[in-house]
Structure 1
């Protein structure tokens, strides 16, 4: 990784954001044509899934969202780029994470507007080829937006979900070139953590907190999605998320990642899906099933020293539970609009 190697790709995505965010609805197609490749692949959370043209992404996602969240602005907390380190994938990817904030003036996906500020938490991976964006993973926390609108899509969560801040160090916006050695250290810390999940993957008997301490600083923060929540310190993370997650989900298959990069003290990955698991009961207050479900996940990390210390997580929980026959989005929004009975709306 050479210093300044990714500056052209970063600038392309920054220019794309500037024009996309400023565009009126009728100009969205022109922005997409200017920056996005003809054979574009866009991956988004349920109910969007895969879309294979720039114009269709504008019509299905950006136009309705910008119509619903008026005066929308992008509030980024992390911006980085890097060469995909996964064998067989490659390419330069640019990553953005933060919130899309606006005035929630019109319905979106059946979620009722509030007329107040609302924030859609998002993370986006772009593969840049030449002067075009060829591929995008756009992950976003719809259940959190539902909660801001007064809905309760899930039973009470084990941790606490908030409008999540960016890095404690406030240095996640890496517009300038970074020291490649710092990126290598971050990637090594992420790889070590992924390969050291032994008590869950390999059935090794040891206290979970001991495994976690090999990869994480004691004051770690895990910024999880709505429905699970955020948790602070290794001990509370083990109790409030990692422990319940490992107990409540069985028949685990790791499907691999599509992209894994690092720059400076930050790094991350995404998969489509990362994991396939079967609920064995209790996870997120839901019953056991005999049905495997896919988890599409983005993880963004901040390293402090030799270990990881902050982790922002995006999981397509709507898709996962939809595969179990539970349509969280339709169930919750239909209750509000009066199209379901109370008894139907209260079933797990």
Structure 2
């Protein structure tokens, strides 16, 4: 297969144009790089938006007004085709932080006048030289914590400013060997097969050791946090999460791809499960709950070593009748 240089160049130019554009120029930038029927999937309260103008006016203009002098700090950048559409469109994925001075309110979150970091993960689908789909997930609760408006009770793990990969080699401006990407997809596939519907039948730590390194790093979202090593991951996230949910559906992804030692996926939703109580201190709720997730991975050898996770927790709780954003900003 041919490489991904033209698609990567398109996204890099898109990022540069977004950074340089003034408020009145943003709709034009989106129209230049995106298809007229762009499908954009974002964190609650944005959800699904259609068309460049809607994305510019609903998301980018208010964000750039709130976080002035906005710049992008990229920790991960790669491209590939969806595993189950191997001859189809190219997807370009990236992860990092949008950094600015938090000078005016955004989504009711009060400004600090200080440096603020909005952690993001994104997938762009490229067809005929245009972005036709984009998934952009961003950790709004982490921004709230930076503003002194913590929306959640104490976490089972520890949230930090999430760094990029330990190896510092995840910005793949040049194309990586195809065999390395295939090996990364194989490792991700093995992990997702084991995960299944939580019915592999092994003790949790034994299950994890089949596909993860012992000193794995799991970089979770605000509200859950990050955890380190298989035993602590089992204790501080995976175990409590599985105990809190039942009847997990099969996993479904819009894109699952990899390049070099890095890969990832996203869904809308990835899976559903029934909350039987206890997750993040919340009571049980009847019916299935959607989980919209972006995962990025670093492979080392034939196992996974690091995982960066974006979960739309605001959407999770909105489905259960709790508007975390409104409740916290009103109190704050």
The TM-score with structure 1 as length reference comes to 0.93
Q: Which string of whole-angstrom CA distances, capped at 9 and with x for unpartnered residues, describes residues 131-168 of structure 1?
A: 11010001010000001100111111100001110000
Other structure's SS at 1:201 match: coil
Residue number among 262, 265, 288 corresponding to 1:292 in the alignment:
288
Q: Provide the alpha-carbon RMSD of the alignment.
A: 1.2
| Alpha-carbon shift at residue 254 of structure 1 (Å) | 2.4
Matched, 1:91 2:70: no
Q: List structure 1 runs of 4+ shifted beyond 4 angstroms.
A: none
CA distance in 1 between partners of 2:279 and 2:44 (Å):
20
Superposed, which structure 2 residues align to 1:51-130 within 5 Å? Answer: 51-87=49-85, 90-130=88-128
CA distance in 2 between partners of 1:65 and 1:328 (Å):
19
Matched, 1:331 2:331: no
Paired residues, what number? 332
Partner residue of 1:215?
Answer: 211
Matched, 1:282 2:278: yes
Residue number among 230, 236, 243 corresponding to 1:240 in the alignment:
236
CA distance in 1 between partners of 2:32 and 2:62 (Å):
20
Partner residue of 1:343?
Answer: none
Other structure's SS at 2:242 match: helix
Other structure's SS at 2:296 match: strand
| Alpha-carbon shift at residue 255 of structure 1 (Å) | 4.5
Partner residue of 1:201?
Answer: 198
| Alpha-carbon shift at residue 89 of structure 1 (Å) | 9.4
CA distance in 2 between partners of 1:25 and 1:96 (Å):
24
Q: Which string of whole-angstrom CA distances, capped at 9 and with x for unpartnered residues, describes residues 249-278 of structure 1?
A: 112112510000000000000000001112
Partner residue of 2:298?
Answer: 302
| Alpha-carbon shift at residue 285 of structure 1 (Å) | 1.0
**Maintained 8 Å contact 1:89/1:259:** no
| Alpha-carbon shift at residue 205 of structure 1 (Å) | 3.3
Q: Which string of whole-angstrom CA distances, capped at 9 and with x for unpartnered residues, describes residues 200-230 of structure 1?
A: 532x432111000010001100000000000
| Alpha-carbon shift at residue 335 of structure 1 (Å) | 0.8
**Maintained 8 Å contact 1:77/1:167:** yes
| Alpha-carbon shift at residue 30 of structure 1 (Å) | 1.2
CA distance in 1 between partners of 2:178 and 2:85 (Å):
19
Other structure's SS at 1:252 match: coil
**Maintained 8 Å contact 2:157/2:224:** yes
The TM-score with structure 2 as length reference comes to 0.98
Other structure's SS at 1:11 match: helix
Gaps of at least 5 residues in structure 1 are 337-348
**Maintained 8 Å contact 1:89/1:258:** no
**Maintained 8 Å contact 1:159/1:228:** yes
Residue number among 224, 246, 256 corresponding to 1:228 in the alignment:
224
**Maintained 8 Å contact 1:291/1:323:** no
Relative to structure 1, the CA distance from residue 68 to residue 230 in structure 2 (aligned partners, 3 Å threshold; closer, same or farther) is same
